[in-house]
Structure 1
């Protein structure tokens, strides 16, 4: 029997698990990743979108250029088009900049993002190999392919996992301080920690077909688009350009009464969505029937074992936020784990992970489901007139196009889901009684309320404030006259890594009313004040997990009561 020892064992080498591995390794933590697939084995054609928040993570990890250069050709429009069929009449279009214009484009609904790293359209079949190569090359990360973790035990000292090398037919024992399950919707880790999914079991059924069809692009008269939604009274669907040339992913959205996948002829539905006849030739690369759900785990943790990503939540992939929410899980958890393992944080800090991520997961899952239901309702109401010539058809197309744009621009340009969400019940945030601004899928208001994301501002040296966030806490000072010695000394006494950053308030685009912000590694605000806290040791007791009971805060100087 082979024995491996590490600090953190991650089960699953998808985008969430690989990001978690790189995040931990960047903080000096040794990681072993166990993945059942072979090295280089491609994933399913799933997520097509990397959010701005995820791109910020990749920027911090130093791999954003590799990610940005992957996917569609640099000049290929990332637009979302709505047509009667892929080769039919265009109803409307949501303009989204191509990769080459992503940093410079202005004036559209998907430009002027308040971040140094706007979103990126790339299919998972291209993204995951990039992340795998970056993780494999990072010091401190060991990836074990074709290794299946079957069970594990844990006690006060660590975790002992029993795994099997599927190719060598060899048992492996992996000992670790902590374990993270990033093993997908059928997660074994979730089951082993006794966690259960609950919510809405069926939101929508979908037939997905990944095809090779080189002739399709020549049949499209309109400007190319990354994603095309077909709206007609016979069959609505979504077609995604995977490589900008020959390969396409087609989603056939079944109607509510179509409860059996094989009740709909796949070839007929595909041709109707595309708008082609029986003479059109295509090759099926892969196909999958799947159910969009809204399910959230009742617990994200059992002592030293945690779950992230699809292991913790499943919802219909509107706004592309399944994978991205999983990356947010990993980022939230990993800095806390690193703090505990390296000794500056107390084990109780880890209680904040579930307290923060589970409520947000529940909320975002409702955003996605409610939007899906609205889109399904819109599809059912497409009138036959959209396909006829003349004024009546023109009016119908204008009406359907406008409704599609108004409903869906918030999904594809989802600033609220990126920057608006906040943690309002964390034991590791020092609140001061103010509630962050409300947000929706497509809108938000920047805020400095504890629990919210720190607003992005450009510094005088051309870097973003997010670029200078330290490995633990960053003290951002907007008034150099404010004495921060008490906070610096308290952090030193408690061995908390603290980075001081001075920002010129007058040059910041956001109007900061506070003089001081304490920002966490995940860019959420932990505390704010006009002066240094009068009892800074009590503040850091909370921020590193020593004090976990509810608190009352005074707004003037944010002193722990």
Structure 2
């Protein structure tokens, strides 16, 4: 047994969410150790689409270009998108997605764009970036046990050689997947819905260029006498995921050896003698789980450890990365001493409702035609409840208890206009279109002022002196910014490090109350403290 190492944060799990958490911690200057029992990344494509909001988060880290460059080469041929269905890939026909495409119109303005990059390709990039930036990543190391106390967590680790060590962390982030041994050890329960389908995800190499003859798609539903399957593209030429439906009451993974999987894949393709190489396979289902608690003392759940649901809509990994982004700036603030422990309570209050929305939207996509917005005699109710991806991922508003000056309202807005609790609106602020208003907050707070900013600059200087909180002030040209936010000359938005508006000058935020507002947001003052009273008493 070696001596006990101390680190501010221990991350357990080296998938997309754990690696993103590592990069967010590095961005905020927080030392960490990440452990992952696997020796390498995922071999299955799993998550494929990186939502625009997630790309914005990567942009804040300065890695957007690296990710987009990789995405540009992910598809070997053709384009990504569309849907087909039929008795086989050889005979499948493209569906009319007019209604679906209409739902993608008028996306929320952003400096970033959606990209297609399967998890098997994105994970190595995030791993390399985290190591380049000095991250302590330990693959092939597993968590044997942990003891959580009020002042930290003591973890027992074991590497592949059998060497056991202990590590003491101020906080533990559980990014250890849907089965989350950490969550189970803590006895955290959750909201559950039973699965509607069970699948074998069979990742194969098979050259389908001749079979498809120029047809491209994102998903293709196959139903014939031999197999029911959903086919997802990885590179549009010779790497594909075949999700083979099965009945767990009759069979399990052991009943599907490689040879049988290859035969079922050929049946789905519709070419009995085509060469098929099975690269990996795993079982999964469409069951829903959202943890009742996202935090237990010094332990936090993120990603699949906190919420699990069907992949329809691509909300799983993207929601999980947003979890980490929300949590990390708060941990960094508490560790630096500029925030009180109460700030960490807002993590669950803000992120758990987002997981429920994502799970509900994914559930609505269970039926293939409904998933793509195609009307049938039976799906009118489900279609009416569907939300656009932009709405779910970008146009949401955090609960009023977690932000300054917010008024109770709907959880989603039609357009981001600087409403308290929403992501700051995007506008380009230079002629080269390289700097957006979205780029201004982080790693500290930001005050975005419409026009003249002298009063706010003085207030920001005083607030930083009084609280130690990093905060910058930016004077934006009135014109379009005033039109977008509804703020007059001299009006301002107070924006958190994660890009969410925490207060508006037309909703009880003034230069004279800025210091008190920051203290309240950061959990130093009680949430029910009036800003005027706090300012007078400061």
TM-score range, shorter chain: 0.7 to 0.9
2: CA distance, partners of 1:553 / 1:231: 60
Q: 1:91 is matched with which residue?
A: 94
The match for 1:132 among 95, 111, 127 is: 127
Q: 1:521 is matched with which residue?
A: 497
- Offset at residue 219 of structure 1 (A): 1.5
The match for 2:467 among 494, 516, 533 is: 494
Counterpart secondary structure, 1:318: coil
Residue 229 (str. 1) matches residue 234 (str. 2): no
Runs of at least 5 residues in structure 2 that lack an aligned partner in the other structure: none
- Offset at residue 192 of structure 1 (A): 3.0
- Offset at residue 159 of structure 1 (A): 2.0
- Offset at residue 331 of structure 1 (A): 0.3
Q: 1:421 is matched with which residue?
A: 396
- CA offsets 1:156-200 (integer angstroms, 9 cap, x no match): 4322111111x2211111112111111101212212333123310
Residue 320 (str. 1) matches residue 314 (str. 2): yes
Residue 474 (str. 1) matches residue 457 (str. 2): no
Counterpart secondary structure, 1:202: coil
Q: 2:423 is matched with which residue?
A: 453
Greater Cα shift, 317-326 or 523-532: 523-532
- Offset at residue 356 of structure 1 (A): 1.0
Q: 1:150 is matched with which residue?
A: 144
Q: 1:302 to 1:438 in 2, by over 3 A?
A: closer
Counterpart secondary structure, 1:535: helix
Counterpart secondary structure, 1:116: coil
1: CA distance, partners of 2:349 / 2:371: 36
Q: 1:393 is matched with which residue?
A: none
- Offset at residue 240 of structure 1 (A): 2.1
1: CA distance, partners of 2:536 / 2:49: 41
- Offset at residue 399 of structure 1 (A): 8.2
- Offset at residue 116 of structure 1 (A): 1.2
2: CA distance, partners of 1:345 / 1:477: 24
* TM-score normalised to structure 1 length: 0.83
Report 1:333-372 matches (<5 A).
Answer: 333-372=327-366
Q: Is the 2:521–2:527 contact (alpha carbons within 8 Å) kept by the matching residues of 1?
A: no
Moved over 4 A (4+): 110-113, 231-236, 261-269, 376-379, 550-554
1: CA distance, partners of 2:106 / 2:503: 30
Q: Is the 1:505–1:511 contact (alpha carbons within 8 Å) kept by the matching residues of 2?
A: no
- Offset at residue 32 of structure 1 (A): 0.5
Q: Is the 1:534–1:559 contact (alpha carbons within 8 Å) kept by the matching residues of 2?
A: no
RMSD of aligned residue pairs (Cα, Å): 3.3
- CA offsets 1:343-383 (integer angstroms, 9 cap, x no match): 111122111111111122122211211232x437789xxxx
- Offset at residue 551 of structure 1 (A): 6.5
Q: Is the 1:35–1:146 contact (alpha carbons within 8 Å) kept by the matching residues of 2?
A: yes
The match for 2:404 among 430, 434, 454 is: 430
Q: 1:297 is matched with which residue?
A: 291
Residue 249 (str. 1) matches residue 249 (str. 2): no
Counterpart secondary structure, 2:124: helix
Q: Is the 1:73–1:244 contact (alpha carbons within 8 Å) kept by the matching residues of 2?
A: yes
Runs of at least 5 residues in structure 1 that lack an aligned partner in the other structure: 96-105, 380-397
The match for 1:511 among 476, 479, 484 is: 484
1: CA distance, partners of 2:61 / 2:294: 25
Q: Is the 2:400–2:407 contact (alpha carbons within 8 Å) kept by the matching residues of 1?
A: no
Greater Cα shift, 309-318 or 2-11: 2-11
- CA offsets 1:189-242 (integer angstroms, 9 cap, x no match): 21233312331031321222111112x1112124333x1323657665332221
Q: 1:179 to 1:510 in 2, by over 3 A?
A: farther
- CA offsets 1:498-523 (integer angstroms, 9 cap, x no match): 11112223144962112211111221
Report 1:536-551 matches (<5 A).
Answer: 536-550=514-528
- Offset at residue 305 of structure 1 (A): 1.1
The alignment of Structure 1 onto Structure 2 pairs a total of residues equal to: 512
Q: 1:503 to 1:74 in 2, by over 3 A?
A: farther
Q: 1:559 to 1:114 in 2, by over 3 A?
A: farther
2: CA distance, partners of 1:223 / 1:113: 30
- Offset at residue 312 of structure 1 (A): 0.6
Q: 1:366 to 1:82 in 2, by over 3 A?
A: same
Counterpart secondary structure, 2:199: strand
Q: Is the 2:309–2:362 contact (alpha carbons within 8 Å) kept by the matching residues of 1?
A: yes
Q: Is the 2:44–2:203 contact (alpha carbons within 8 Å) kept by the matching residues of 1?
A: no
Residue 465 (str. 1) matches residue 437 (str. 2): yes
Q: 2:75 is matched with which residue?
A: 73
1: CA distance, partners of 2:327 / 2:356: 17
The match for 2:265 among 263, 270, 293 is: 270
Q: Is the 2:450–2:481 contact (alpha carbons within 8 Å) kept by the matching residues of 1?
A: no
- Offset at residue 425 of structure 1 (A): 4.5
Q: 1:391 is matched with which residue?
A: none
- CA offsets 1:302-348 (integer angstroms, 9 cap, x no match): 11111101111111111111111110110000000001111111122
Q: 2:20 is matched with which residue?
A: 19
* TM-score normalised to structure 2 length: 0.86
The match for 1:190 among 183, 189, 193 is: 183
